[in-house]
Structure 1
Amino acid sequence: MGVIKVENIRVYAYHGCLSEETTIGSDYRVDVSVEADLEKSSVTDALNDTVDYVTLNAIVVEEMRIPAKLLEAVAKRIINRVFENCKTVVSVSASVSKINPPIGGDVEKVTIVLSESR
């Protein structure tokens, strides 16, 4: 088994419970980590034998474009899409961070993390 991580994917999106969050938008950072059998690809050196991190990035960008009230919902959609598109993945962790959240304090970011296994 091995792990592939795509970290600090920067996107601008429109998630939140407040109307201004879905109108103005905000900066987000997303990390995705997948566990899969990487033994074959380590020997064959073939992209078809591994989990393509370009696909992981594309999934994140596409799912972040769809507004949601909760970051948990976005992370769940990302995980579901990874399982749909990457059949060799056995577990996924998605971390979604909202930068400068509107919570009335000096807070750099809020982050949720969801993890699931097949």
Structure 2
Amino acid sequence: MGMIRINNLRFHTFNGVLPEERRNGQQLAMDIAIKYPIETKVQHDDVHETINYAEVRAVIADFVTTHSYKLIESLANQLLNTLLVKFPTVDGINLKIRKYSVPMPGIFDNVEIEVEGAPDGK
């Protein structure tokens, strides 16, 4: 099974539980892995035979800049559902979202949420 990956997409968003997170916002990073049978579907060097990753990025950008959630788990679930509806020919999507400015004590790089799903019927 082929895989299309877009790694470390970054967006300034306004997600978080605390009022200052929702007011000031913070950077989120995302990795998306799209399961797609490249080996059998892409036969003629034609963008219409594959998943256009510029379109994937545009869907993600539109979603994360127009929606705000207290939990990045909610953001991940809703964004995954949106991607699965917009790209029904994929066999599955794995989405990771990293939040760097997490208001908790300790030394760490980020908190990461990972969700995975497939279009209905697959």
Same fold (TM over 0.5): yes
Secondary structure at the counterpart of residue 117 of structure 2: strand
RMSD of aligned alpha carbons: 1.2
Counterparts of 2:63 and 2:31 in 1: how far apart (Å)? 13
Q: 1:61 deviation in Å?
A: 1.2
Secondary structure at the counterpart of residue 60 of structure 1: helix
Q: 1:49 deviation in Å?
A: 0.7
Counterparts of 1:104 and 1:64 in 2: how far apart (Å)? 26
Secondary structure at the counterpart of residue 54 of structure 2: helix
Instruction: Please report the TM-score for the alignment, with normalisation by the length of structure 1.
Output: 0.92
Structure 2 counterpart of 1:24, one-letter code: N
Counterparts of 1:74 and 1:44 in 2: how far apart (Å)? 36
The answer for unaligned runs of 5 or more in structure 1 is none
Secondary structure at the counterpart of residue 77 of structure 1: helix
Q: 1:87 deviation in Å?
A: 2.0
1:70 corresponding residue in structure 2: 71
Query: Aligned pairs, how many?
Result: 117
The answer for unaligned runs of 5 or more in structure 2 is none
1:46-73, CA deviations, whole angstroms, 9 ceiling, x for partnerless residues? 1111011111111221221211011111
Secondary structure at the counterpart of residue 57 of structure 2: helix
Instruction: Please report the TM-score for the alignment, with normalisation by the length of structure 2.
Output: 0.89
